[in-house]
Every structure is written in structure tokens, then in C-alpha cells.
Amino acid sequence: MKKSFFLIFLTSILFAAVSFSGCLGLFSDSGETNETVDISEIYDLNVFIPTISGHEKVVESGTYSTVSNSSDIQVVMLVDNKKEIQILMETGLFGLSNTYIKDVYFITNENFSMTTDGINETVSSPVILTPEYKKSESSREVKLILEENFSGILVYTMVPTIGSNSIIVNDGAHAVQIILSEEYETGNPLFGKPSPTPDSIETNSNGQTILKWNAPLGKVSVKYYQNNAPLYFALSVIVLFALIAFVWLRYHYQIRKLKQITQSFDSDFEEGFRNKK
């Protein structure tokens, strides 16, 4: 009985430690969007232009940014003349319902082209379109289906059903840039790391971690965690082992004390057995 209680107690301590360290997911407030807000107040139009074989090359890329104190993922996609646009879909144990997205905008410019100059001009002078579209979802992919082909920048926010601490790029982007806000990091084997290894990792002046894959061959995934999670977890493990040591020492102390008391009343008692004469 005592052993069972002790195991339950230790399990509860460890579970609380892991939860406190931020490893069980980050939850999101998916409130309604005010459509009158300037798009620059919602998104940073950070279009990723990869460097391939030493030269910048414009491809259909995706930039995926975490949102501070939220599990939402903001997406900036470069789209080249498409009527069906694949977007992120939820994966894993908690992806039990349809993918929910919000703050969807189609941005272009009369001079838009799949060139660095065309993209820069669109970012500096964006024109927001309001095309009719519908969302089509299957077990393998999620698509936005438009009435006409679109070229430009698609931005939207994906809201996970029950929160998440990972980004899995499964929308077919030819180049991937993932931006972690300043309170998150990745790379710890225990808490999560990127896969495959990024082509580059840097930290900008805002404290954001930027990971880039110039030409990934398959899906890109990044598991991230709060900056203080490893420290909190280490402290929790230390406390846990200290409690184990305390209980073990107290148990053996009580056994020795009990033997001494027994021997004081029964001189024939030795190591738990009565001496045979």
C-alpha cells in the first residue's frame, strides 16, 4: 500500500514538473478578427527567397511564424498562378477536427511577378483581393479552391484544435522559413529539434530564431519549447531525486530506530530474528 502511494506521488510530481516546464503544448485564443485592421498590423510580409547554389532563386516558398503566448501559426506563402492552393493541415493525436484558419488575405500588385523586384514592390505596395474561395479537406491535404487563378502572396493563420508546440510543413512549399518568437527555441534532443537539419539558423535583433531550408526534399518539422523549459525540467528532476533520497533515508532511519527499540526490550532479538540457543 505504501509503495503504491509512493509511486503515485512520484508520478504526480513528475507530471507537474513536465507541465510547468511547458512541454505539454501551448494553448490559443482564437478570437474573431477585425476585418478593418490594416494587414500590416496582423502580418509581417516576410517572403522567403532561398539561396540555391550560391544564387537567390524565387520559388513558391512558405514562411511560418509562431505567435507569442499562443499556439497559432502565421503563414506567408508565395503563390504562382494557382487556382488550388494547398495549406497546412493538422497532424498528430490532437488533430481530430477540420483545420481551422483565420485572417485569410490574398495580396498582389499590378506589377507582381515571380522576381525579387516584383515581390518587393508587392510587399511595399500591397493590393488586397477578395476572391471567392472554398476550403476542401481530405485525410491527406487541405486546399483553398478559387474561381480564378491567383498569383501573389497568400497569408493566413492556422489555429490548432487543442494547441501545439510544433510546426509541420505539409503544404508542398519548395522552400521553407520558420520563425520562432523570442520566448521559444528548438534544438534540445529531449524537448524537440528541427528535422531535417536546417540549411541555416540565425537570431535577429528581435530575438527571433530563424530557420531556413532552401530546397527541402520532404516535410519539414520543428518542435519548439519555451526558453526556460530545460531549466525548469532540470530543477524538477533535482527536486524529484531529492525527495526520493529523503524518503529512502527516512525509511532506513525508521527501520534502524525500530530495531534499537526492539533490542532494548528483547536482548535475544538480532537483525529481525530471535537468537536460537
How do the pLDDT tens digits run along the chain, 277 residues long? 444 544 444 455 444 443 433 333 333 333 333 345 488 889 999 999 999 989 999 999 999 999 988 889 999 999 999 999 999 988 755 545 678 999 999 999 998 999 999 999 999 999 999 999 999 998 889 999 999 999 999 999 999 877 678 899 999 999 999 999 998 999 888 888 999 999 999 999 999 999 999 999 889 999 998 877 665 556 667 777 778 877 877 777 788 777 777 767 666 655 555 454 4
| pLDDT given at position 113 | 95
Which residue is listed with cell 485572417?
103
Cβ burial, residue 5 (10 Å; 0-12/13-18/19+): exposed
Residues in the chain: 277
CB-CB contact of 133 with 126 (8 Å): no
Which residue is listed with cell 490532437?
94
Closest by Cα among 150, 207, 140, 139 to 179: 207
- Find how far residue 34's CA is from the centre of its chain: 26
Would you list the domain boundaries of the chain? 2-10+231-274, 26-225
What CATH number has the domain spanning 26-225? Answer: 2.60.40
| pLDDT given at position 35 | 45
| pLDDT given at position 267 | 61
pTM, entire model = 0.73
d(CA 94, CA 183): 24
Cβ burial, residue 209 (10 Å; 0-12/13-18/19+): buried
Whether the upstream peptide bond of residue 230 has omega within 30° of 0, thus cis, is no
